Amino acid sequence: MIDVIRVAHCVLYVTDLERSREFYVGLLGLNVLHETPGALYLRGVEDREWTLKLQLAPEAGVRHVAYRVRGEADLDALVALAEARGLPWRWEEELDRPRLLRMQDPFGTPVAFYAESRTHRWLLQDYHLHRGPGLQRVDHVNVMSPDVEGTMRWYMDELGFRLSEFTEDDDGNVWAAWIQRRGAVHDLALTNGTGPRMHHFAYWMPDAMSIIRACDILAGARMPQAIERGPGRHGISNAFFLYVRDPDGHRIELYTSDYVTVDPDFEPVRWHLDDPRRQTLWGARTPRSWFEEGSLLEAFEGGWVTPREGRLRGLPVHVI
C-alpha cells in the first residue's frame, strides 16, 4: 500500500501578489520562507516546510494540492498506479522539493506527491516572531466533488485513507466525507457540490481565542467582508472554526480542537443530512456562498477543470 503521510501544501494562483501578501502575511500572519518575483512561499509557525505557495497568474485558481509520502518507493508505486489506471502524470520540481510527482486523480483534481523536502527551523517557540492570530500548521484540504462516494472510495482503496466522519441521507447517499492518513479527523474532506473545485485549505490554530483574534484583526483592517462563516464549532470534527475569503475569493479555514483517530477500532461517525448540529453544533445557519462557491482547479494540460454539477441535488438544511 502506498504510504501517504499527510496533506502537505497547496499552490494557489493569485492575481495581485502584493494584495495577497497583505492578506496572508500582513493580516493572517503567515511567515514568508522564500520569495521570488512571481511567488511567495508561506508557512505557519510549526511548519518546517513551506505549506502555501501564492503564485502570480492572470486568473485565480488552484495549481495543485500536495501530499507527502514516506519514501521514493511510494512515488514509484504512485507512478505505477497512474500507469495502470490511465491517469496523467509527470515529474515536476518545486522550491525545496526536487522530485514532485504531479498527477490528476480520476475525478479531475490536480494532486502532487513528494517524499523529500528541504526543512527549515520551525518558529513554534520563537514567540517574539509570531504575528497576527498565529497560524500554526497546515491541517487539511476540502474538495467539492460531484461524486463524493466514488472519490472517497478511490482515496480509501488506492491510497489507504481512513474514514472519520460522513454525512448520509435516508437513501444511503453520502453527501460528505472526512478521510485521513495522519490520525487526525481529516487530511481531505469531500463535500457534494459542483466540482471538482477546491472548497478550502485549512490551518490549525493554537486555540479558539486565536481564531477570535483573526476576526478582530480583519475587522480592525476594515475587512469584515472577508469573514464568510463563523466563528463557531462544527458538530462534525468538533473543531472550532472560521472561514475567511482571500482577495481572490480563495477560502481559508482557521481550525482547532478536533480529536485523534489512531485507534484501530475507531468507528466512523455518521451524521444524518438533516441534523443541523453537524454544520454548526450551536445551530447557527450557514451562508449560501459557503455551499456554492469554490476555487477552480488547473487541468493537467493547462486551463481549468470543467466543474460538473453534483450527483446529489439540493442544499443541506440550515442555509441563510
Of the ranges 82-90, 168-176, 194-202, 218-226, which one interacts with Fe ion (CB under 5 A)? 194-202
Q: Is 202 in the site for Fe ion (CB under 5 A)?
A: yes
| Residue nearer to Fe ion on the CB measure, 114 or 243 | 243
Q: How far is the CB of 39 from Fe ion (least distance, A)?
A: 25
Of the ranges 37-45, 65-73, 155-163, 196-204, which one interacts with Fe ion (CB under 5 A)? 196-204
Of the ranges 10-18, 35-43, 134-142, 273-281, which one interacts with Fe ion (CB under 5 A)? 134-142
| Residue nearer to Fe ion on the CB measure, 7 or 111 | 7
Instruction: List beta partners, residue 251.
Output: 245
Q: Tell me how far apart the 2 most distant CA atoms of the chain are, in Å.
A: 54
Q: Could you tell me which of 314, 318, 319 has the C-alpha nearest to residue 277?
A: 318
HSE value, Cβ hemisphere, 13 Å, CA-based, for 121: 3
How far, in Å, CA of 114 to CA of 242, rounded?
29
Phi-psi region for residue 160, left (φ > 0), alpha (ψ -120 to 50) or beta?
Answer: left
Q: Are 90 and 64 in contact (CB under 8 A)?
A: no
Q: How far is the CB of 142 from Fe ion (least distance, A)?
A: 5
Q: What DSSP designation does 226 have?
A: G
Q: How far is the CB of 164 from Fe ion (least distance, A)?
A: 12
| Residue nearer to Fe ion on the CB measure, 64 or 140 | 140
Q: Is 105 in the site for Fe ion (CB under 5 A)?
A: no
* Rounded CA Rg of the chain: 18
Write out the three cell numbers for 210: 486565536
Count of residues in contact with Fe ion, rule CB under 5 A = 3
Handedness of CA 69, 70, 72, 74 (dihedral sign): negative
Q: How far is the CB of 135 from Fe ion (least distance, A)?
A: 14
Convert residues 219-258 into a mask of x (bound to Fe ion by CB under 5 A) and - (unbound): ----------------------------------x-----
Q: How far is the CB of 189 from Fe ion (least distance, A)?
A: 5
| Residue nearer to Fe ion on the CB measure, 147 or 253 | 253
| Residue nearer to Fe ion on the CB measure, 89 or 204 | 204
Q: Is 246 exposed, middle or buried (0-12, 13-18, 19+ CB in 10 A)?
A: buried
| Residue nearer to Fe ion on the CB measure, 74 or 228 | 228
How far, in Å, CA of 299 to CA of 308, rounded?
14
Kindly report whether the peptide bond that precedes residue 231 is cis, defined as omega within 30 degrees of 0. yes
Of the ranges 32-40, 130-138, 142-150, 272-280, which one interacts with Fe ion (CB under 5 A)? 142-150
Convert residues 259-298 into a mask of x (bound to Fe ion by CB under 5 A) and - (unbound): ----------------------------------------
The set of residues, in sequence order, having a beta carbon less than 8 Å from that of 114 and lying 6+ positions away, is 8, 66, 68, 69, 75, 94, 97, 99, 100, 101
| Residue nearer to Fe ion on the CB measure, 253 or 298 | 253
Q: How far is the CB of 253 from Fe ion (least distance, A)?
A: 4
Q: Is 176 in the site for Fe ion (CB under 5 A)?
A: no
| Residue nearer to Fe ion on the CB measure, 20 or 142 | 142
How far, in Å, CA of 255 to CA of 170, rounded?
30
| Residue nearer to Fe ion on the CB measure, 114 or 178 | 178
Q: Which residues make up the interface to Fe ion (CB under 5 A)?
A: 142, 202, 253
